[in-house]
Structure 1
Amino acid sequence: MRRVVFNQKGGVGKSSITCNLAAISAFEGYRTLLLDLDAHANATRYLTGLGGDDAPLGIADFFKQTLFPGPASIKSHIHIHETPFNNLHLISASSELEALQSKLETRCKIHKLGKLLDSLDEDYERIYIDTPPGLNFYSICALIAADRCLIPFDCDSFSREALYAVLREIEEIKGDHNVRLEVEGIVVNQYQVRNALPHRLLDELLDENMPILPVYLMSSVKMRESHQACKPLIYLAPHHKLSRQFEELFDLLEEHA
């Protein structure tokens, strides 16, 4: 099962959600792979503490190989790294992705990622894909390669407008490239229970029959501590309320996996 976390708007918690769900998946015993497609490499840094020039070889190297293919198999061109967490492996991102993007677009390489993941399906029971903000080459590749999509939503008016655009784009990609792609739901993130605006926005979206998932992830300084420690919450603070919310969300998604 391949799950992509996508929203065009930045700052909605894509990397945090992807990493924490993947960490819980691995903690629960699933052979889990996280693929980082964002040139900012936030997920890579979160899980390894490495980033920038220190980032390990990963998906950028694979895409370079697709531009200059050799005789070896697709699978042999990918660098997969162990993380400090059992059952959780990583295909890292780096800033190189930005420079490669225009070349990949002009050479119509949008299906290469799906072929790579096809070759890895027997090795991993769960694959999580973190995407860049915006509908660019890499996020399109991810949506074409995935089975399911989660959309983070952080309860402001700009996020609401972005949400409508994301749903339209997913429908278009589903129709043109990937009929199996399904929106699993909208993940409410950084939820502030005492703020009136989130309540009003969510009530309006629910009235519109938007697929809001019934687990709301709270806003907490513990997430920033988790980033700084390079430890997902299930390892840093397993009994914290936010950790339990992530577990509840994971269980809800697994019911339909």
Structure 2
Amino acid sequence: MRRVIFNQKGGVGKSTITCNLAAISAVEGKKTLVIDLDIQGNSTHYLLGKKVEESGKTIAAFFKDCLSLSLFGGSNNSGLEDTIHESPYPNLFVVPSHPELEPLQGRLEAKFKIFKLKEALEKLSGFDAVYIDTPPVLNFYSQSALIAASRCLIPFDCDSFSREALYRLIQTVKEVKADHNQQLEIEGIIVNQFQRQANLPQQLVNELIAEGLPVLASMISPSVKVRESHSVSQPLVHYVPTHKLSDEYRALYAELHK
């Protein structure tokens, strides 16, 4: 299963959700790959403990190869295999981000390389699950991820501005599905930073459910443990395995696999 975690709004928890679901997948015994398409590289740092300085073994190297042509007109693209890093955790692997993604974007768009990630993932074998983290904007990389994935998870952080953005985002996913990827489905809206005792978040969630939107029942609470886990580069199931937040992520993972 290839999942993309996508929202055009920043600060909604895309990287945190990506890495923690992937970590649980790996704990469950599935060989799991995280692809970090966000130039900020938050998922890379979260899972590897550092940002990869050299671009030669990152997603940037993959896309640079996509721009290369051999003498006979074929692509020199060696696929994703050469960009995969082992994380400190069994079964969990990462294709790291790199700042060089930014200057590559215009060239990739001009050469219409939007399907290259999908093609590479279809050729990649040995992984049971793939999670793709995206930048907080609709650009070449987030569109590539939407085209490459079969399921889309949308983080939602319970405010009125996020709600308005959510409608536009759902329309964007529908357009990508219609134009480029018939397999793409919105698997669910993940309510993040959910304050159960506050009136406004509960009201917003109830209204989204009443509208028939695919809000997942498993919601993620706010906690300082998230920032702490970022700082030590340990997903929650490894950093605080018995904490309430780890249980919430396990419940979310279970809901997606029921």
The interval holding the TM-score normalised by the smaller chain is over 0.9
Tell me the residue number matched to 1:210: 213
Shift of 1:253: 0.6
Tell me the residue number matched to 1:48: 48
Which contiguous aligned blocks of 4+ residues in structure 1 show a shift greater than 3 angstroms? 52-56, 69-74
Taking the aligned partners of 1:67 and 1:129, their CA distance within structure 2 comes to 21
Q: Which SS does the other structure have where 1:218 is aligned?
A: coil
Shift of 1:150: 0.3
- Which deviates more, 196-205 or 46-55? 46-55
Q: Which runs of 5+ in 2 are unaligned?
A: none
Q: 1:209 to 1:13 in 2, by over 3 A?
A: same
Alignment map for 1:1-257 (pairs within 5 Å): 1-51=1-51, 53=53, 57-70=57-70, 72=76, 74-75=78-79, 78-120=82-124, 122-255=125-258
Is 1:36–1:130's contact at 8 Å kept on the other side of the alignment? Answer: yes
Q: Which runs of 5+ in 1 are unaligned?
A: none
Shift of 1:57: 2.4
Taking structure 1 as the reference length, the TM-score comes to 0.95
Per-residue deviation, residues 10-67 of structure 1 (Å, max 9, x unmatched): 0000000000000000010001000000000000000111126367721000000111
Taking the aligned partners of 2:19 and 2:5, their CA distance within structure 1 comes to 10
Per-residue deviation, residues 113-142 of structure 1 (Å, max 9, x unmatched): 00110111x210100000000110000000
Shift of 1:69: 3.3
Per-residue deviation, residues 149-169 of structure 1 (Å, max 9, x unmatched): 000000011110111011000
- Which deviates more, 231-240 or 201-210? 201-210
Shift of 1:79: 1.1
Q: Which SS does the other structure have where 2:83 is aligned?
A: coil
* RMSD after superposition: 1.5
Letter in 2 for 1:141: S
- Which deviates more, 201-210 or 85-94? 201-210
Letter in 2 for 1:44: T
Per-residue deviation, residues 76-97 of structure 1 (Å, max 9, x unmatched): 7731100000000100001111
Per-residue deviation, residues 142-193 of structure 1 (Å, max 9, x unmatched): 0000010000000011110111011000000000000010100000001112
Taking the aligned partners of 1:85 and 1:197, their CA distance within structure 2 comes to 38
Taking structure 2 as the reference length, the TM-score comes to 0.95
Taking the aligned partners of 2:80 and 2:49, their CA distance within structure 1 comes to 25
Taking the aligned partners of 1:55 and 1:216, their CA distance within structure 2 comes to 36
Calculate percent identity across the aligned residue pairs.
Answer: 52
